[in-house]
Amino acid sequence: MGFYDRLGDFPILTLFVATLIIVLLSYEGGFRAGRWRSRRPKREQEVVVRSMVGTMLGLLTFILAFTFWLAATHFDAARQALLNEANAIRTAYLRADLLPEPQRAEIRDLLRKYVDVRLEGARSGKIDQAIAQSEVLHAQLWSQAIAVREKTSSPILMGYFIQSLNDLISLHSRRLMVGREFRIPGTIWIVLFVVMPLASASIGCHGGLTEESRPLVAVAFVLTVSVVMTLIADLDTPRKGSLMVSQQALTDLRNTMNAAND
Amino acid sequence: MQFHGLLDALPIWALFVATLALALLSFEGGFWVGGRSSQLSDPQQEKVVSRLVGGILGLLAFIVGFTFSVAASHFDARRQALHDEVNAIRTAYLRADLLQDPHRSEIRNLLREYVDVRSEGRRSEKIEEAITRSEELQDRLWSQTVAAKENTSNSAFIGNFIQSLNEVFTLHSRRVSAGLEARIPDVIWLVICGITMLAAASIGYHAGLTRSRRAPVAPALILAFSVVILLIADLERPLGGFLEVDQKAMTDLRNKMNAQTR
């Protein structure tokens, strides 16, 4: 499912135009089919078609709304994960005070570097590189913390630090998961791209059966559906498009750390 | 659970074809019955039938949409459970550093085996076996930890480790329940199947009654519902199917653990 899962990765504008064209073409196809059939002697009854079209629209609306909700949840999760991570880093930074020197200074340096790596990764878009660097830093942080074990006088205080360090590492992998896997599943995209043209063709067909010309509202319908689809894709990729998760929490944290260092 | 066995035994595409075929047959059946009935004399009567058909279709759209959202949340829960488990295992693995040496390496070996069992079980689909093996390993992990208690100077460290180990055990049972037990109840499946057939039959009946031609919208509507039902079945299926929870997090953890031993 690799290809379909990455459907949201298409540039937003491409997706918008593609959706628009698909919906318009299927409407037009449905309209022509309906008009052609309405000229034949034994025709479909308008009421029969009407109730079916209503249901089809209801189904499309429900699926679109639900997928939108799913994408919005994912976007929120990405934002939340970033906030949690900033908090965990801050906690670990503060709790480093519980450790003896020289590990304290060492660990604080590493944590500052960690925030830099993450901000840099978000800014330059070199995510894979930032992930690799972060994981190296995790290992360094951990070995510094364990080095304290031998000579600490108070294991309880050290336990606090260990806890915050584990949180930090877990939140790193949570952010990875949110970024990589909290996506709209490929099958849902396929279903959307099947139901959407079907619904639009049915409306077109209904229109063709009853009227001679295409109503202007059809354009509004096509536009609305395309805009919602685009918005879903945009929400689904928190790292690009016009909707992006703000890195402000990490930037603020970096500034506090620098201030504390001076 | 018997019905689930049946549903899971069928390949996804067979389920799709079966739904489609049954719904189309019901439509034809309804059409035939409607065509045989005497033509309605009163146009008012037709309106009643039209309302009723609209009602059935609306109900179907609502139930299918709702089940779809339940299935998608189950899918999300499975993903979340896997991820939390990976984090817990990683934390326990790191915290084993707090223990003294024969126990430390013993516990790390056990944890590595634990991860192997879990990814292997997922890959080979012998879930029951993997669950039993995991629970054996949990017992051994626990007795190692208790043994470590005897020759430690630092009970606070043991406490930290125990906390993370208990987390691993808890998340095991959560994953089992999210993966195998959180399913859409059989009754709901039966209701969806029943209403789909009834709805298809009533559209057919309505069309037959009004002496309408078979509208192309009818198969389109049936196709749309079949696709959505296919998606629900797919989201619901923990193993097999097009949509699977990405196991990358677990594989990554395993690779990292193996890299560390060398």
Residue B76 near residue B166, CB atoms below 8 Å: no
Mean pLDDT of A36-50: 74
Residues of B in contact with A42 (CB under 8 A): 211, 213
Between A85 and B13, the higher pLDDT residue: A85
Q: What is the pLDDT of residues B31-57, one digit of tens each?
A: 888 888 776 666 777 788 888 888 888
- Choose among B69, B83, B207: nearest Cβ to A174: B83
Optimal mutation site among B50, B79, B217, interface A, most CBs of chain A within 10 A: B217
| pLDDT for the residue numbered A89 | 92
Question: Would the pLDDT of B255 be above 90?
Answer: no
Question: Would the pLDDT of A166 be above 70?
Answer: yes
Give the closest-approach CA distance of A155 to chain B in angstroms.
6
Least confident among A39-43, B136-140, B197-201: A39-43
| pLDDT for the residue numbered A66 | 86
| pLDDT for the residue numbered B5 | 56
| pLDDT for the residue numbered B39 | 67
Longest dimension (CA), chain B: 95
Question: Would the pLDDT of A136 be above 80?
Answer: yes
Question: Would the pLDDT of B235 be above 70?
Answer: yes
Residue B121 near residue B84, CB atoms below 8 Å: no
Nearest Cα neighbor of A191 from A85, A87, A64 is A64
Optimal mutation site among A36, A40, A47, interface B, most CBs of chain B within 10 A: A47
Residue B253 near residue B91, CB atoms below 8 Å: no
- Residue B240 DSSP label: S
The ipTM assigned to this model is 0.77
Question: Would the pLDDT of B25 be above 90?
Answer: yes
| pLDDT for the residue numbered A248 | 83
Q: What is the pLDDT of residues B192-205, one digit of tens each?
A: 889 999 999 998 88
Question: Would the pLDDT of B214 be above 70?
Answer: yes
Residue B200 near residue A36, CB atoms below 8 Å: no
* B235–A contact, CB cutoff 8 A: yes
Average pLDDT value for chain B:
81
SS3 for A62-74 is HHHHHHHHHHHHH
**What's the burial of A92, exposed, middle or buried (CB within 10 Å: 0-12/13-18/19+)?**
buried
| pLDDT for the residue numbered B177 | 81
Confidence category of residue A1, pLDDT binned at 50, 70, 90:
very low
Q: What is the pLDDT of residues A194-234, one digit of tens each?
A: 889 999 998 888 888 887 777 788 888 889 989 998 888 88
**Do the chains contact at B220 and A201, CB–CB below 8 Å?**
yes
Mean pLDDT of B63-80: 83
Confidence category of residue B236, pLDDT binned at 50, 70, 90:
confident
Confidence category of residue B208, pLDDT binned at 50, 70, 90:
confident
Least confident among A128-142, A242-256, B59-73: A242-256
Residue A53 near residue A203, CB atoms below 8 Å: yes
Residues of B in contact with A85 (CB under 8 A): none
Confidence category of residue A3, pLDDT binned at 50, 70, 90:
very low
